[in-house]
Amino acid sequence: MPDQQTVEVPIKGMDCAECALHVQQAIAALPGVESVNVFLSSEKAVIRLDPALVDLPTIRKAVEGVGYSVPTSATAQPTPSPLGDFTRRVLALFGIVFGAVLFIVVVGEWLGLFEAFTQRVPWPLGLAVVLIGGYPVFLNVVRATLKGQITSHTLMTLGALAALAVGEWATAVVVVFFMRVGDYAENFTTERARRAVKDLTAMSPQMARVERRGTEHEVPVGEVQVGETVIVRPGERIPVDGEVIGGHATVDQATITGEFMPVEVGPGARIFAATLARLGSLRIRATHVGPDTTFGRVVKMVEEAEAHRAEVQRIADRFSAWYLPIVAGIAALTFLIRRDPLATAAVLVVACSCAFALATPIAMLASIGAGAKRGLLIKGGKYLEALARADVLLIDKTGTLTLGRPQISDILPLNGVPEDDVLALAASAERYSEHPLAEAVRAAARERGLPLYEPEQFEAIPGLGVRARVNGGSIAVGNNRMIAAGAGLNLAPAFESGLEAQGKTLLFVAREGELVGVLAATDTLRPEVPASLAAVRALGARHIELLTGDNERIAAALAESLGVHYRANLLPEDKIAIVREYQANGHAVVMVGDGVNDAPALAQAEVGIAMGAAGTDVAIEAAHIALMRDDWTLVPEVFRIARRTMRVVKLNIAFTAAYNLIGLSLAALGFLPPIFAAAAQSLPDLGILANSSRLLRQK
Ligand code: ADP
Ligand code: MG
């Protein structure tokens, strides 16, 4: 629909996975909302809506209706009165101390250490203590119930009521107390997991120094315009993406690339926001600001990574929805069969559904956050999951396996055209091509100081070459298929020259359908490739295949030296077809490319990995995983991260399942008094956190 738009709305107060689900449902139910994604980690909702049917106040009302809030910059939140705040804190402190003391007393009684003095407290007094201690929780439960929602708290409250019914008021108070403890545990866990993402945002500078009408002004980064000149002093973070127009500095680009070795930059260099200038000042012309910078995009994608949920999480979410009714059923059975209200209360209390909902996202968030700090942009748990089971790795050649900086090694002029003219015509035709081979041709012409012409009617033909009108003549530069397709040209001299046998890529140059020369380009294999491929193979990608638009002989030579399969003479659409072919045969395909001319194949693969994506918008958008620096060792690294993450996820789920199963069984059989059940339910979150935190650590 053309009249739809996507808006982002911040949401406050969500501290459990269940909460995000409630907000999601509330917004989705509004008329005019097409889709909505609620992000627990970045505390926002991304909504696709029809602005004619739904507006911000309506959304805010819906969100507030389920107990959360939408902060506004326009209308300030009513600040709680200092006294109110103070009373609340005192009450909370009282609740904690009282709950803890009571817990000790009741456990002591149960072990027979003290006399059973809680039994002697009159019943109405006990009831009053429960109500005072638990009123905030009860209030929430009543609110949720009125909206037809069942939460873990609903069951626990029922448990507390059951305990109360048999006169165990102290048990009821302790249950309420541990509900709060459980909330804190979950809140703490989610907060910790969010931190990896928040740390990332904290690295973008807030202020920029701009030169306006000859004087320097400190302005918030949001106010810098594209094209303005920004000044950066030693030790400062660079506020924008841009081009250096003055000064020299060493720049630590670890924020973007994960590489700690600083790089030297000077006039003409491209530079990224959030990187750190050391030793030296710079004048930069801003090319991208705010969310359009490479760093801005990375942050946004990391924040939204939750939208690409892993299949395991979908299953866990579906299971969570069933879990509470199942627990209620077990409690009912316990009561019917064993007629034991305390055991029934224990069953209701021991159930903690949040742990299931947290098991996957906590681990994914940890890995994605840690990855982003090391130059690995992972766009969602889904891709880590797919990577962990991938068995086919497809690799693009030019710019991916090779350094991507090919050089023209030979020029073979034909039909009496001077060597320099061949090169000048080719370089002019290639002037606006982004292909690495085009850059090689331009560089060769630059080296010889040849004048370039401004091409007219430039056309890039993916996988084949370019065509342009140069100086009034129609020039084509490309491989044999492109040139031969034009007219039955005699390509024999080039083939007889033996250049291809040396592993060189041939670029044929034709003018008005007549061959005027052949250029040979050599490109060097990235040195870390062989070891990285071996590592990836050991990590599960047993079938590795080179896909290239280059010719058969070159592909064969390279593939043989690497010990991989290959297919040559491919057009971009052939690469997509090959990905589909593997998928149809049940394989999970990972494709590594440069992300520029192979973006469609990257998108088609289960996991598309783009190399050296920093600064190339297309690659960052197209790939599922973007490697911010040109380093093949990152490929096995991301496979390793994926496998570790999935191991942690599986352990989290297994642990939660076992814990709850044992807890429920013990409770139903009457071996677990409600008081211990209440204490037990707050622990799995912390177990999940401890297990998942392993993913935050660098190896
Ligand atoms: P790969 O699959 O190896 O990355 P591409 O699909 O990018 O290769 O290109 C395949 C072939 O098409 C190249 O080897 C080259 O012969 C030709 N080609 C593509 N773009 C250009 C260009 N701009 N100039 C000359 N030749 C090109
Ligand atoms: Mg390529």
Q: What is the pLDDT of residues 344-357, one digit of tens each?
A: 999 998 987 678 88
Whether residue 159 contacts residue 165, with contact meaning beta carbons closer than 8 Å, is answered with no
Identify the three-state secondary structure at position 582. helix
Q: Which of 219-228, 339-348, 369-378, 583-592 is most confident?
A: 583-592
Nearest bound ligand to the CA of residue 458: 1
DSSP string, 498-564: TTGGGTPEEEEEEETTEEEEEEEEE-PBPTTHHHHHHHHHHTT--EEEEE-SS-HHHHHHHHHHHT-
Sign of CA dihedral 123, 128, 131, 133: negative
Whether residue 240 contacts residue 230, with contact meaning beta carbons closer than 8 Å, is answered with yes
Which residue, among 679, 692, 690, has the nearest Cα to 182 in the 3D structure?
A: 679
Respond yes or no: is residue 396 known to be catalytic. Answer: yes
Whether residue 176 contacts residue 141, with contact meaning beta carbons closer than 8 Å, is answered with no
Q: What angle do CA 500, 506, 508 make, to 5 degrees?
A: 140
Protein residue with least CA distance to atom 4, ligand 1: 398
Whether residue 177 contacts residue 102, with contact meaning beta carbons closer than 8 Å, is answered with yes
Whether residue 228 contacts residue 210, with contact meaning beta carbons closer than 8 Å, is answered with yes
Spell out the domain ranges in the chain.
5-65, 225-288, 378-402+525-634, 407-522
Q: How far is the CA of 598 from the centre of ligand 2 (A)?
A: 6
Protein residue with least CA distance to atom 6, ligand 1: 463
Q: Write the pLDDT tens digit of every residue in 255-298.
A: 888 887 888 999 999 999 999 998 889 999 999 998 889 898 88
Protein residue with least CA distance to atom 16, ligand 1: 479
Nearest bound ligand to the CA of residue 595: 2
Q: Which tokens belong to 525?
A: 């294999």
Q: Is the CB of 353 under 6 A from ligand 1?
A: no
- pLDDT of 488 higher than 60: no
Nearest bound ligand to the CA of residue 574: 1
Q: Which tokens belong to 487?
A: 């007219």
Nearest bound ligand to the CA of residue 468: 1
Cα distance between residue 623 and residue 611, in whole Å = 9
Q: Is the CB of 550 under 6 A from ligand 1?
A: yes
Lowest mean pLDDT among 78-82, 137-141, 553-557: 78-82
Cα distance between residue 23 and residue 64, in whole Å = 9
DSSP code for 40 = T
Cα distance between residue 590 and residue 610, in whole Å = 11
Q: Is the CB of 159 under 6 A from ligand 1?
A: no
CATH fold label, 5-65 = Alpha-Beta Plaits (3.30.70)
Rg of the chain over Cα atoms, rounded to whole angstroms, equals: 32
Whether residue 563 contacts residue 582, with contact meaning beta carbons closer than 8 Å, is answered with no
Q: How far is the CA of 624 from the centre of ligand 1 (A)?
A: 23
Residue type, 620: I
Q: Write the pLDDT tens digit of every residue in 298-319.
A: 888 888 888 888 888 888 878 8
Q: How far is the CA of 407 from the centre of ligand 2 (A)?
A: 15
Q: What is the 3-state secondary structure (H, E, C) of 396-456?
A: ECCCCCECCCCEEEEEEECCCCCHHHHHHHHHHHCCCCCCHHHHHHHHHHHHCCCCCCCCE
Residue 591, Ramachandran bin (φ over 0: left; ψ between -120 and 50: alpha; else beta): beta
Please give the model's pTM, rounded to 2 decimal places. Answer: 0.80
CA 622 to chain centre: 13
Q: Write the pLDDT tens digit of every residue in 379-395.
A: 999 999 999 999 999 99
Q: How far is the CA of 400 from the centre of ligand 2 (A)?
A: 7
pLDDT (0 to 100) of residue 681: 86
CATH fold label, 378-402+525-634 = Rossmann fold (3.40.50)
DSSP string, 161-188: HHHHHTT-HHHHHHHHHHHHHHHHHHHH
Q: Is the CB of 320 under 6 A from ligand 1?
A: no
Q: Write the pLDDT tens digit of every residue in 633-660.
A: 999 999 999 999 999 999 999 999 999 9
Contacts of 347 (CB under 8 A, 6+ apart): 159, 327, 330, 331, 334, 664, 667, 668, 677
Q: Is the CB of 593 under 6 A from ligand 1?
A: no
Q: Is the CB of 241 under 6 A from ligand 1?
A: no
Backbone φ, ψ for residue 179 (5° rounding): -60, -45
Protein residue with least CA distance to atom 14, ligand 1: 550
Lowest mean pLDDT among 373-377, 482-486, 513-517: 482-486
- pLDDT of 506 higher than 50: yes
Protein residue with least CA distance to atom 20, ligand 1: 465
Q: Is the CB of 375 under 6 A from ligand 1?
A: no
Neighbours of 135 (CB within 10 A): 13
Q: Is the CB of 396 under 6 A from ligand 1?
A: yes
DSSP string, 624-639: SEEESSS-TTHHHHHH
Model confidence at 219, pLDDT cuts 50, 70, 90, reads very high
- Is 417 or 110 the better-scoring residue by pLDDT? 417
Q: Is the CB of 507 under 6 A from ligand 1?
A: yes
Residue type, 141: V
Residue 229 belongs to what H/E stretch? strand 229-232
Question: Which residue blocks in 112-224 are alpha helix, DSSP H?
Answer: 123-146, 152-165, 169-202
- Residue whose pair of structure tokens reads 């021991």 in the numeric block: 350
Which of 481, 548, 551, 569 has the most ligand 1 atoms within 8 A of CB, as the residue to mutate? 548
Nearest bound ligand to the CA of residue 593: 2
Q: Is the CB of 465 under 6 A from ligand 1?
A: yes
pLDDT (0 to 100) of residue 78: 35
What atom of ligand 1 comes closest to residue 575's alpha carbon?
2
Burial string for 23-58 (b: 16+ CB within 10 Å, else e) reads bbebbbebeebeebbbbbbbbbbbbebeeeebeeeb
Q: Is the CB of 157 under 6 A from ligand 1?
A: no
Whether residue 570 contacts residue 549, with contact meaning beta carbons closer than 8 Å, is answered with yes
Q: How far is the CA of 593 from the centre of ligand 2 (A)?
A: 7
Q: How far is the CA of 597 from the centre of ligand 1 (A)?
A: 9
Which of 441, 464, 508, 573 has the most ligand 1 atoms within 8 A of CB, as the residue to mutate? 464
Identified catalytic residue from 241, 396, 550, 685: 396
3.40.630.90, 3.40.1110.10, 3.40.50.1220, 1.10.10.10: CATH of 407-522: 3.40.1110.10
Mean pLDDT score across all residues of the chain: 86
- Is 342 or 109 the better-scoring residue by pLDDT? 342
Protein residue with least CA distance to atom 9, ligand 1: 463
Sign of CA dihedral 662, 667, 671, 674: positive
Cα distance between residue 243 and residue 327, in whole Å = 61
Cα distance between residue 398 and residue 392, in whole Å = 19
Model confidence at 76, pLDDT cuts 50, 70, 90, reads very low
Protein residue with least CA distance to atom 15, ligand 1: 479
Average pLDDT over residues 216-240: 92
Which residue, among 298, 254, 375, 305, has the nearest Cα to 638 in the 3D structure?
A: 375
Cα distance between residue 235 and residue 420, in whole Å = 47
Using a 10 angstrom Cβ sphere, with 0-12 exposed, 13-18 middle and 19 or more buried, the burial of residue 319 is: middle
Lowest mean pLDDT among 76-80, 100-104, 310-314, 386-390: 76-80
Average pLDDT over residues 548-554: 85
Q: Is the CB of 612 under 6 A from ligand 1?
A: no
For residue 469, list its beta bridge partners. 456, 474
Protein residue with least CA distance to atom 2, ligand 1: 548
Lowest mean pLDDT among 34-38, 113-117, 147-151, 433-437: 113-117
In the chain, the percentage of residues whose pLDDT exceeds 90 is 36
Q: Is the CB of 480 under 6 A from ligand 1?
A: no
What atom of ligand 1 comes closest to residue 594's alpha carbon?
4
Whether residue 343 contacts residue 371, with contact meaning beta carbons closer than 8 Å, is answered with no
2.60.40.10, 3.40.190.80, 2.70.150.10, 3.10.450.50: CATH of 225-288: 2.70.150.10
Protein residue with least CA distance to atom 24, ligand 1: 465
Q: Is the CB of 596 under 6 A from ligand 1?
A: no
Contacts of 135 (CB under 8 A, 6+ apart): none
Residue type, 280: G
pLDDT (0 to 100) of residue 77: 35
Whether residue 491 contacts residue 508, with contact meaning beta carbons closer than 8 Å, is answered with yes
Burial string for 604-620 (b: 16+ CB within 10 Å, else e) reads bbbbbbbbbbbbbebbb
What atom of ligand 1 comes closest to residue 550's alpha carbon?
14
- Is 486 or 665 the better-scoring residue by pLDDT? 665
Q: Is the CB of 682 under 6 A from ligand 1?
A: no
Residue type, 477: V
Q: Which tokens belong to 21?
A: 């689900």
Cα distance between residue 141 and residue 147, in whole Å = 10
Q: Write the pLDDT tens digit of every residue in 8-30.
A: 888 888 776 677 888 888 888 88
Q: How far is the CA of 522 from the centre of ligand 2 (A)?
A: 14
Neighbours of 439 (CB within 10 A): 17
Nearest bound ligand to the CA of residue 548: 1
Q: Which tokens belong to 326?
A: 């199942």
Cα distance between residue 174 and residue 342, in whole Å = 14
Nearest bound ligand to the CA of residue 506: 1
Cα distance between residue 524 and residue 537, in whole Å = 22
Q: Is the CB of 523 under 6 A from ligand 1?
A: no
What atom of ligand 1 comes closest to residue 435's alpha carbon?
23
pLDDT (0 to 100) of residue 539: 94
Q: How far is the CA of 387 from the centre of ligand 1 (A)?
A: 28
- pLDDT of 74 higher than 50: no
Q: Is the CB of 636 under 6 A from ligand 1?
A: no
Q: How far is the CA of 667 from the centre of ligand 1 (A)?
A: 68
Residues less than 5 Å from ion ligand 2, measured at CB: 396, 398-399
